[in-house]
């Protein structure tokens, strides 16, 4: 079935498998199935609509609306929502059922949900109670002594890092796992003492690597396997390596990074990063089976489509972002874990038969609710009996079918954030004018004059002493001021890499730019001509090989 996106007008396809999934995820009441219709938006616009609901990286100072205490929050002080500190939100000092109300069958559902959303207090930071000394860390758990790190798990001393797990003593890492003493590493696993590396596994004491595995003491290398003491893919002696490294440390890495980025284009790139996958397409797929148009699938997923940052043994997931871990039969979900048969939810965990809800935990059989925990048979935060619930919900679904809301995720107008505060701008960048024209909100930067820098980071870390901790630096790109903290200086000295010349936000954007877009193109292997689906668009300069040709090249 061919359809045209209601928003961008692009043509997209609904397959028979898709229709079969929509049928299975549809709820049943009294023996009648309330069919979830095919989506009206294309996959990209659906993803954008989910991402605009999540602010993960922007932090503000404001007061807790319950206690009046100063707090760090994902919500700026000008937001009209009530925002509570995490310990208050999770406590019994307030009851989300106090905000319950009857469903009004004379009005659209989303309008009523927006009113409930305006009343129910929101979590200030989305922090897990297992974090220790991680006041500036969001969407993570079991972390210790982490700072300005977002979406990180089981990390210790992780700073300025994103969407990573089990890091220790790491700075400026993105989508990296089980790494220690690493700096500016992206999509790396089980690495130690590495800097400026990407797509590397089990590498040690190396700089400027891409797609290397089990390598150590290497500089400026790509596509190497099981090597040591190599510079630009050529073997060198230990003495030659140490001399090159010393020269690099003394002169700084800027010129070497430019040299490496130009040189690596002479070598092939694999069409997709896959590990133990079966009948799956996308990029960065780990143990995926029957997954299509998926990106960043972690630790296994099966029968999924249009998912991002998902996996953890999830099954039957469509249009889900940051979702997984023992989830099954879920559709249009943003941020969930261990849920079954749920759809159109935002930040719901450990749920069963939940629809059109937000910030729910350990709930079952709820519709249009916000902020509930350990509840069942609730509608718009009002408690019902099982019999009442099963009588009222079908009537509500029929009503929102008539208002053409059924089957659609929350509209962007219900996001508590402006477009440029959310993850949407990272994947679908828009200018202020473009965002406003598309119907998104926009938050202007506060008028702020930046202080004149009192220090400019030298090319060599050997020229820096502890006095830098009292200096003010200015970002070379955006002009914002930033400081160097003690832990940061210690790591840079230990790794002998220069201090950053950009603020942590600009460094994050630079790491994001290293990754390919979440989009697939049809092109041919530049070696054998085999048709491939890849995140490298045909006009890009890289030589892209199919997996068979690539493996022949590197082994």
**DSSP letters spanning 90-158:** TSSSS-GGGG-----TTS-HHHHHHHHHHHS-EESS---TT-BS-TT-BS-BS-BS-BS-BS-BS-EEE
> Residue 378 forms beta bridges with which residues?
366, 383
- Residue 180 confidence (pLDDT) above 90: yes
Q: Residue 110 and residue 131: Cα distance in Å, rounded?
A: 35
Q: Residue 464 and residue 458: Cα distance in Å, rounded?
A: 8
- Residue 251 confidence (pLDDT) above 90: no
Kindly indicate the confidence band of residue 128, based on its pLDDT and cuts at 50, 70 and 90. confident
Q: What count of Cα atoms within 13 Å lies in the side-chain half-sphere of residue 214?
A: 4
Determine the pLDDT at residue 325. Answer: 85
Q: How confident is the model over 360-367, as a mean pLDDT?
A: 97
With contact defined as beta carbons under 8 Å apart, do 148 and 163 qualify? no
With contact defined as beta carbons under 8 Å apart, do 165 and 154 qualify? yes
Q: How confident is the model over 287-295, as a mean pLDDT?
A: 97
Q: Residue 267 and residue 553: Cα distance in Å, rounded?
A: 9
Q: Residue 21 carries which DSSP code?
A: H
The average confidence (pLDDT) of the chain is 96
Q: Residue 410 and residue 292: Cα distance in Å, rounded?
A: 24
Kindly indicate the confidence band of residue 29, based on its pLDDT and cuts at 50, 70 and 90. very high
- Residue 402 confidence (pLDDT) above 90: yes
Determine the pLDDT at residue 129. Answer: 80
Q: How far is CA 419 from the centre of its chain?
A: 15
Q: Residue 195 and residue 219: Cα distance in Å, rounded?
A: 10
With contact defined as beta carbons under 8 Å apart, do 69 and 85 qualify? yes
- Residue 138 confidence (pLDDT) above 90: yes
Determine the pLDDT at residue 467. Answer: 96
Kindly indicate the confidence band of residue 140, based on its pLDDT and cuts at 50, 70 and 90. confident
Residue 378: both structure tokens together: 């609730």
Model confidence, pTM: 0.95
Determine the pLDDT at residue 441. Answer: 97
Determine the pLDDT at residue 398. Answer: 98
Q: Residue 470 carries which DSSP code?
A: G
Burial 55-68 (b: 16+ CB within 10 A, else e): bbbbbbebebbbee
Identify the CA nearest to 514 among candidates 191, 28, 185: 185
User: What are 91-96's contacts with CB under 8 Å, separation 24+?
Assistant: 93/66, 94/66, 94/121, 96/120, 96/121, 96/369, 96/370, 96/371, 96/372, 96/373, 96/381
Which ranges of 351-496 would DSSP assign to H, the alpha helix?
386-402, 424-427, 432-437, 486-495
With contact defined as beta carbons under 8 Å apart, do 239 and 229 qualify? no
Determine the pLDDT at residue 236. Answer: 98
Angle at 38 between CA 35 and CA 41, to 5 degrees: 140
Q: How confident is the model over 254-259, as a mean pLDDT?
A: 95
- Residue 133 confidence (pLDDT) above 90: yes
Kindly indicate the confidence band of residue 50, based on its pLDDT and cuts at 50, 70 and 90. very high
Q: How confident is the model over 273-292, as a mean pLDDT?
A: 97
Distances (CA, A) of 29 to 341, 404, 549: 14, 20, 53
Determine the pLDDT at residue 321. Answer: 97
Q: What count of Cα atoms within 13 Å lies in the side-chain half-sphere of residue 42?
A: 15
With contact defined as beta carbons under 8 Å apart, do 105 and 395 qualify? yes
- Residue 324 confidence (pLDDT) above 90: no
Kindly indicate the confidence band of residue 447, based on its pLDDT and cuts at 50, 70 and 90. confident
Work out whether strand 288-292 and strand 294-298 pair parallel, antiparallel, or are unpaired.
Answer: unpaired
Angle of helix 386-402 relative to helix 109-119, nearest 10 degrees, comes to 120
In three-state secondary structure terms, 74 is: coil
Please state, for a pLDDT cut of 70, what percent of the chain lies above it.
100
- Residue 92 confidence (pLDDT) above 80: yes
Q: How confident is the model over 224-245, as a mean pLDDT?
A: 98
Determine the pLDDT at residue 239. Answer: 98
Summarize pLDDT for 67-83 with one digit per residue, the tens: 999 999 999 999 999 99
Distances (CA, A) of 71 to 5, 83, 117, 324, 491: 41, 10, 21, 30, 29
- Residue 445 confidence (pLDDT) above 90: no
User: What are 190-196's contacts with CB under 8 Å, separation 24+?
Assistant: 193/495, 195/253, 195/495, 195/497, 196/253, 196/257, 196/497
Q: How confident is the model over 108-116, as a mean pLDDT?
A: 98
Tally of residues, the chain: 555
Q: Residue 137 and residue 189: Cα distance in Å, rounded?
A: 21
> Residue 84 forms beta bridges with which residues?
123
Q: How confident is the model over 216-225, as a mean pLDDT?
A: 98
With contact defined as beta carbons under 8 Å apart, do 403 and 392 qualify? no
Summarize pLDDT for 486-512 with one digit per residue, the tens: 999 999 999 999 999 999 999 999 999
């Amino acid at each position: 079935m061919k359809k045209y996106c209601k928003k961008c007008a692009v043509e997209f396809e609904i397959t028979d498998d898709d229709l079969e999934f929509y049928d299975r995820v549809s709820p049943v009441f009294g023996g009648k199935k309330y069919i979830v219709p095919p989506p009206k938006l294309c996959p990209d616009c659906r993803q954008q609509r989910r991402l605009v609901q999540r602010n993960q990286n922007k932090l503000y100072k404001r007061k807790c609306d319950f206690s009046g205490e100063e707090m760090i929050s994902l919500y700026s002080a000008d937001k009209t929502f009530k925002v509570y500190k995490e310990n208050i939100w999770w406590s019994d000092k307030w009851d989300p059922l106090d905000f319950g109300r009857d469903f009004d069958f004379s009005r659209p559902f989303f309008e009523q949900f927006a009113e409930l959303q305006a009343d129910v207090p929101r979590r200030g930071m989305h922090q897990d109670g297992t974090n220790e000394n991680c006041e500036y860390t969001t969407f993570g758990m079991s972390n210790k002594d982490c700072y300005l790190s977002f979406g990180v798990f089981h990390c210790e001393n992780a700073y300025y890092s994103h969407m990573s797990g089990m890091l220790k003593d790491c700075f400026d890492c993105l989508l990296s796992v089980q790494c220690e003493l690493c700096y500016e590493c992206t999509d790396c696993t089980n690495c130690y003492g590495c800097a400026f590396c990407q797509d590397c596994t089990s590498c040690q004491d190396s700089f400027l690597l891409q797609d290397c595995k089990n390598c150590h003491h290497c500089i400026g290398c790509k596509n190497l396997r099981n090597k040591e003491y190599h510079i630009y893919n050529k073997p060198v002696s230990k003495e030659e390596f140490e001399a090159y490294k010393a020269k690099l440390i003394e002169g700084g890495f800027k010129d070497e990074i430019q040299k490496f980025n130009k040189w690596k284009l002479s070598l092939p790139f694999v069409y997709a990063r896959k590990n133990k996958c079966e009948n799956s397409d996308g990029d960065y797929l780990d143990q995926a089976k029957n997954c299509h148009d998926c990106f960043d699938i972690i630790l296994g997923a099966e029968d999924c489509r249009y998912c991002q940052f998902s996996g953890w043994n999830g099954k039957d997931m469509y249009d889900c972002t940051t979702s997984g871990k023992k989830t099954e039969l879920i559709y249009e979900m943003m941020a969930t874990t261990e849920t079954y048969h749920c759809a159109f939810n935002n930040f719901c965990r450990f749920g069963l038969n939940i629809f059109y809800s937000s910030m729910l935990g350990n709930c079952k059989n709820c519709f249009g609710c916000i902020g509930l925990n350990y509840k069942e048979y609730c509608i718009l935060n009002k408690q019902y009996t099982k019999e009442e619930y099963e009588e009222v919900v079908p009537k509500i679904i029929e009503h929102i079918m008539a208002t053409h809301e059924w089957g659609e995720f929350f509209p962007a107008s219900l996001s508590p954030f402006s477009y440029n505060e959310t993850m949407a701008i990272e994947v679908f960048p828009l200018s202020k004018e473009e965002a406003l024209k598309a119907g998104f909100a926009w938050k202007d930067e506060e008028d702020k004059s930046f202080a004149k820098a009192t220090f400019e980071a030298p090319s060599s870390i050997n020229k820096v002493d502890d006095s830098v901790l009292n200096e003010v630096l200015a970002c070379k790109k955006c002009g914002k001021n930033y400081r160097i903290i003690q832990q940061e200086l210690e790591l840079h000295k230990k790794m002998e890499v220069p201090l950053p010349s950009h603020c942590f936000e600009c460094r994050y954007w630079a790491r994001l730019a290293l990754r390919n877009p979440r989009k697939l193109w049809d092109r041919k292997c530049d070696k054998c001509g085999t048709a491939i689906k890849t995140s490298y668009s045909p006009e890009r300069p890289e030589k892209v090989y199919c997996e068979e040709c690539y493996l022949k090249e590197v082994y």
